[in-house]
């Protein structure tokens, strides 16, 4: 049996704005995430986890930030590409686990909607997707509320 695990990690700085996009969900906040695309750190980490399990590099390899066609892109494009690539290579995604690291905004009130959003993008059942959050206990850039980080793991199984 060919079972593969991939791990993804992403970070984006906070800048002026009034919401952040996490897992494809607009979350009201006193700032926005800064990035070449929509800066959805959670979807970026999940996408990189899938690419990692496939030994296919990362988002930057498939969607270079130097390519202006991806400026402001919605991150579901990246995730859907990784899902399609896994299918093309004969894999199914067994489950996805994502942790968002920030002091604010609070993630738990939005977690169910985030799971539903990821399920819609990937075709996975909601019971195979976990979205949770933690703080960094006011340490480092996330603790100082300068940015948001996310980690994700994806398990792929060869058909």
Q: What is the pLDDT of residues 37-85, one digit of tens each?
A: 999 999 999 999 999 999 999 999 999 989 999 999 999 999 999 999 9
What domain count does the chain have? Answer: 1
Angle at 117 between CA 44 and CA 17, to 5 degrees: 60
The structure's pTM equals: 0.97
Residue 57 burial (10 A CB sphere; 0-12, 13-18, 19+): exposed
Distance (Å, whole) CA 4 – CA 15: 36
Per-residue pLDDT at 151: 98
Residue 81, C-beta contacts closer than 8 angstroms, at least 6 positions apart:
47, 62, 63
Per-residue pLDDT at 90: 98
Q: What is the pLDDT of residues 107-123, one digit of tens each?
A: 999 999 999 999 999 99
Angle at 7 between CA 3 and CA 12, to 5 degrees: 155
Residue 40, C-beta contacts closer than 8 angstroms, at least 6 positions apart:
21, 22, 23, 24, 33, 75
Residue 3 burial (10 A CB sphere; 0-12, 13-18, 19+): exposed
* CATH number for the domain harbouring residue 111: 3.30.1330.50
Per-residue pLDDT at 107: 97
Residue 110: domain span = 3-158
Residue 77's CB is within 10 A of a number of other CB atoms, namely: 15
């Amino acid at each position: 049996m060919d079972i593969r695990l991939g791990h993804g990690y992403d970070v984006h700085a906070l800048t002026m704005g009034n919401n952040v996009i996490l897992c494809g969900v607009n979350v009201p906040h006193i700032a926005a995430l800064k990035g070449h695309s929509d800066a959805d750190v959670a979807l970026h980490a999940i996408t990189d986890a899938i690419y990692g399990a496939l030994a296919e590099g990362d988002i930057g390899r498939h969607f270079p930030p130097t390519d202006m066609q991806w400026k402001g892109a919605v991150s579901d494009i990246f995730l859907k590409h990784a899902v399609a690539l896994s299918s093309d290579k004969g894999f199914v995604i067994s489950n996805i686990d994502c942790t968002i690291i920030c002091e604010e905004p609070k993630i738990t009130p939005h977690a169910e909607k985030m799971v539903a959003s990821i399920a819609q993008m990937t075709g996975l059942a909601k019971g195979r997707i976990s979205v949770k959050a933690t703080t960094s206990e006011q340490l480092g850039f996330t603790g100082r509320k300068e940015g948001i980080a996310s980690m994700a793991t994806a398990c792929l199984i060869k058909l």
